[in-house]
Amino acid sequence: MERGNQFVGQSGAFLDAVERASRAAPLRRPVLVIGERGTGKELIAERLHRLSNRWEEPLVTMNCAALPETLIEAELFGHEAGAFTGATRAREGRFEEADKGTLFLDELATLSMGAQERLLRAVEYGEVTRIGSSRPIRVDVRIVAATNEDLPRMAAEGRFRLDLLDRLCFEVITLPPLRVREGDIPVLADYFGRRMAAELGWEEWPGFAAHVAEAMEQHPWPGNVRELRNVVERAIYRWDDWSEPVGHVQFDPFDSPWKPAGSPRAAATEGTSAPHQPSPAPDHSQVTDLRAAVDLHEKTIVEHALGRHRWNQRQTAAALGLSYDQLRHCLKKHSITGSPPE
């Protein structure tokens, strides 16, 4: 696999999913890959292809959500010249392009019922018919499909064909979200950090400051590995000082004191829209020592502010609305050195 498409992780749940993909790869049967956004479904699809006996043949990818419904069937099955307005010449579909190889259908759940019916015939009989033609074409295609939806529930609600689901679910590989992959966050953060540091020409890799590493461990990572990569690479790019551990990380790139709140005109026309939902309050049910909890929260804020301002204490004090003496007192209170950790 290419350098950018490597599997990195050591948790049991993650390695089990990779192992299942490796075992299923040599078979001709279809495989469903289920997982939240950013969990690496496309990497599993690539692994299924590269470890199969089709590895020298095409791996054709189609994002079913990226095209309007009117073009999905033409993209999948092709069309003849004059089949519809704008079809000036015949065109192969993705099935024909993937003949003897693998067709990866991403965002499978977004397919229309009409496209699902035609896909069912292609899966069951190995035949596709171009739009505007009555002559079926034989194809030998191994299908790998991915989604972040609950397909059995969709089928029960009549939004996905149950017979198609039955034919696609020979093997179902469900990827674990990053938040449950025990021990993988620091491994992935270090991997992406080292790559970014090398790309920027850093002479060595200083690692992350302890409070940054802890913050990454506590973050829920709704965007999973893709989000982690963006957060780490953004932190390295903004830090640009390879001699000191990375002391600041920003999880939300849109977070800014100057973030626009929307124009008054837009606000006046949104009277029927749902009100903005505030962020959920942190869970304080486990707090048994109020003073210790408050001190820990204060220490975390100060450490992040120091990292953000390159451990410049005067700038940190100004950012926190403190005098220099007040910040010095806070550093002493929490045993913070005020300089980057070794």
Q: Give the fold, CATH level 3, of 3-176.
A: Rossmann fold (3.40.50)
Closest CA to 164 of 150, 152, 177: 152
Closest CA to 99 of 51, 57, 49, 144: 57
Domain map (residue ranges) of the chain: 3-176, 181-255+290-333
What's the pLDDT tens digit per position in 116-160? 998 999 999 999 988 888 899 999 999 999 999 999 999 999 999
pTM greater than the 0.85 cutoff? no
Which pLDDT belongs to residue 310?
64
State the CATH architecture for 181-255+290-333.
Orthogonal Bundle (1.10)
What's the pLDDT tens digit per position in 49-80? 999 999 999 999 999 998 887 788 888 998 88
Quick check: 116 and 161 in contact, CB under 8 A?
yes
CA distance 342 to 340: 7
What's the pLDDT tens digit per position in 20-36? 999 999 999 999 999 99
